[in-house]
Amino acid sequence: MTVNAGVLGIALGALSALAVLVLLMSQGKEALRPIVNDIFVSELGFVPKESSALIDSTLQSGYDTLWLRAIVSVVFGLIALGFALLARAGRNWARITLILFVLLAGGVWLLDITDIGPTPVLALDAVGLVVTLVGLVLLWLPASGRYIKQRKALRRQR
């Protein structure tokens, strides 16, 4: 049961990373416009014209950063899900390797959470980080270790 719950947590983390990517694809740079305007007001005291090169380059830079982080999160999340499924099949080496990819995906999510960004992106990143870490912990509980040992013993009997 703990192994299945752990795999589910990691799957939800990968799904949240995918949701961020879809959100960025659907809303585009417009999701960042209010944030950029607020930054200009707080730093400069005014907002440049809507179509100014400064606004456009700032929006593009912010969007490119979020887009890259979303792609990296999806890749690491899907790789982590693959290793979680292998761990569910009783492969202890996959459970060990999973730690690396969860930490990599978690690092990207943490970077996003501590940065300025659209609220839905920050919320999805926070959810992804929490459920993936919970999933990883569940995969390392003693009950999960017993399950993996049982699966290994069954494989050796065949």
- Paired tokens of 21: 């990517």
Tokens of 155: 């494989």
- Indicate whether 50 pLDDT > 70: no
Read off the pLDDT of residues 56-85 as tens digits, 9 standing for 90 and up.
Answer: 888 889 899 999 999 999 999 999 999 999
Rounded Cα distance between 62 and 8, Å, is 32
CA 131 to chain centre: 10
Residue-level pLDDT at 113: 93
Single out the residue of 68, 92, 97 nearest to residue 81, CA to CA: 97
Helices (H) and strands (E) in the chain, counts: 6, 0
Measure the CA–CA gap between 70 and 52, rounded to whole angstroms: 27
User: pLDDT (tens digit, 9 = 90+) per residue, 89-134?
Assistant: 889 999 999 999 999 999 999 999 998 889 999 999 999 999 999 9
Decide if pLDDT at 40 tops 80. no
Report yes or no: 132 and 84 within 8 Å, Cβ to Cβ.
Answer: no
